Structure 1
Amino acid sequence: MDRIFLVGIGMLCLIAETAYAGGDPTKGAIVFRKCMSCHSIDEGKNRTGPSLFGVVGRPVAGIAEFRYSNAMRTFASDGKVWDEATLAIYLPAPRDVVPGTAMAFAGLRKPEDVANIIAYLKDPASAQ
């Protein structure tokens, strides 16, 4: 079972390597609408989920005042950072990457949506 999981994660890593290349932040702002019921892009404005302001480059479970699930804190325990590669693996299948996460969202199925939302999260002001 563990071997199958690791092979699956490895395959996601290969896909993720190209998934975030060349994203369009304007299209990412449109994709972000799927996230807005639980997340904000405003600094310090947490909702059901944490604010995603500055998430690219931020440590996983890195907002001190947000109450993360045990699963997310465990996922973060080895110092993971929400870099582009990690987001590209996580966004298509959050519950597979972090089993037991409180996040109910099933994930983004289209690689272009993943690339676009990462581009948007990197620089929301660039979405015109």
Structure 2
Amino acid sequence: MKTLSTFKLTTLGAALLLFSTSPAFAGHHEGGEKGAPHHRGGAKMFEKHDLDGDGQVSKSEFMETHENRFNEMDTDGDGKISSEEAKAFGEKKREEMQQRREEMKDKAAEHREEKGKSDHSGDE
């Protein structure tokens, strides 16, 4: 199993860090779930990093969440992420996102259906 070079591993780590945390700090507006869907996700991402729930993300909390991500990617536990492990992790995350999209679509359809029933219930 070929391992990633230090440069590639650093670049991959930086990209993961950037993409997994930037929404956390961009979307924690007052009002919680208000705003566009991508902003609501940012609040959830912030909560995910705020391990002690004090409303702030400390350096140790930040580092712990990323160490956990690294360990999740390092499936063979050798302390390195191979290109195969990185690819498998990306595929897993894409599948999870697709599943969440499908669940949100189903939930939205159910909500529209319920709203339609309640809008017509008093017409008779």
Q: TM-score normalized by structure 1?
A: 0.28
Structure with a larger share of its residues in helix? 2
Q: TM-score normalized by structure 2?
A: 0.28
